[in-house]
Amino acid sequence: MPGPKLCGLAPRRHRRRQSANPKTCGSPSPAPSPTPPTVSRFLNLPVDIIVYLARDHLSPTETAALSLACKPMFNLLFPTAKQALIKKGPSARAALLEFVEKEIGNEWWYCSDCKILHPIYTMVGPTIRNYYDPFPLPPVRRLPHRHHSCYLNRRHLYGSVVVVEYPAVRLVMNRHLYGPPIGLPLEIFNVQPTTTTMAHKERPAPLPWEERWSARIRQNELLLCVNRTLNAVGWTDDALRAAIKVEGRELCGHIFTAGSTSAVIHFAIPPSAASKPVPPGPPPSPTSSSPLSPASRPFIPRDSIMDSCKFCCTDHVINIEQRRDHPSRGGKKKKKKVESGDDAIEPEPYWHISITSYHRLGRGRSHDDPVWAAFVSCQGSCRHYVRTKLRCPSGGVKAMWESEE
């Protein structure tokens, strides 16, 4: 004789009795037929069959996840599954939390650093925000073997107002792997053009850099593209070169646009000619500071100078061109002329510098992902993350970004 069914162990729903008082009811109406509760077919199985399947055909992690379906199932299966999880160790507990994340991923996310579930509402912005705004720390558990908590697992590129944090990477990949409403949409990484300026005591007028962020998922990995543009209208060559030298910006944690280190980007100079000494010559004339003067012009128009980081999976492309069409506020170019008598004087040319960097952030499944760990590392902590041709060839991130899904 088959045993009792698990759905019969669930408490019955109390029904509200309909009043039959003619004073309160105008005319007696037929009572609506009660809607039967939707019960899973698995819960309709006999209890002994459920115990047999959980004991002989499911892993302890799957049994523990199954026990969370309802209260009777929890009382029936969880005590045994709990003892099995303790014997398996921390890896089984982490697998259980990842199972739970698939079901409640619209409100919680699994942190592989703290080994617990964090609520999504503790994130800020959710993760892309102004770096100089106050940052309330989320309530996370500090691990005794780490010098930082999981909220410090992020990368802020110097000179930018955007911070990329690990929770956003995992939540976006959760939406990609499990579908909505799990996780967060990919559009949280789309940042509209934002002017970023940096104050410095040696340079009162900041350079008007403009940033645009976008994201894609290719081969189940998250990619970011950061486009930085500079329209140096009204800047002479000498002033522009001095300002770029003072106002450095990070393209990744290992490449800086200013300074004299080996990771410097020399604008308009190919990498093979960057180390060659400048031949001696006569000093430039006072009138050679004009952008059109070829005698002392430090910038040379270049088209698509591509280079790659030696440590993290980052590629960048530099374009330098001289323009006369001054950009307008609406994003379109306007060619203005200054009338002087009968002749029309062309406006002064200016340099347009564009730096596009492509970042590969990995699958977002763990803080210890080598691709993510290399992205958040800096020059002092990148010895263990060396980019190889086998792992990520030069130009591979850019090619992955431009590839079709």
* pLDDT at residue number 13: 42
pLDDT above 90 covers what percent of the chain? 19
Q: Is 338 a residue whose pLDDT tops 70?
A: no
* pLDDT at residue number 121: 65
Report the Cα 287 to chain-centroid distance in Å.
Answer: 47
Query: DSSP letters of 245-280?
Result: HHS--EEETTEESSSSSTTB--TTS-GGGTTSPPPP
Of 188-202, 221-235, 320-334, 352-366, the poorest mean pLDDT is in: 320-334
Task: Give which of 328, 361, 9 is closest to 165, Cα–Cα.
Answer: 361
Predicted TM-score (pTM) of the model is: 0.73
The residue written with tokens 């329209």 in the block is 231
* pLDDT at residue number 294: 38
For residues 298 and 49, which has the higher predicted lDDT (pLDDT)? 49
354-387 burial: b if 16+ Cβ within 10 Å, else e: bbbbbbbbbbbbbbebebbbbbbbeeeebeebeb
* pLDDT at residue number 344: 57
Report CA-CA distances (Å) from 181 to 88, 104, 110, 308. 31, 9, 16, 36
Radius of gyration of the chain (CA): 31
Q: Is 399 a residue whose pLDDT tops 70?
A: yes
What are the sequence ranges of the domains in the chain?
A: 130-271+295-329+345-402
Q: DSSP character for 148?
A: S
Can you read off the two tokens belonging to residue 97? 């939390």
Contact 318, 354 (CB under 8 A): yes
* pLDDT at residue number 146: 43
Three-state DSSP at 97 gives helix
pLDDT in tens, 253-306: 888 887 544 334 445 443 444 434 444 444 333 333 443 333 344 677 878 889
3: left (phi over 0), alpha (psi -120 to 50) or beta: beta
Q: Is 143 a residue whose pLDDT tops 60?
A: no
Specify burial of residue 139 (Cβ count, 10 A radius: 0-12, 13-18, 19+). exposed
Average pLDDT, integer, range 371-385: 75
* pLDDT at residue number 11: 41
Report the Cα 392 to chain-centroid distance in Å.
Answer: 19
| Percent of residues in the chain assigned helix, strand, coil, to nearest 5 | 30, 25, 50
* pLDDT at residue number 199: 54
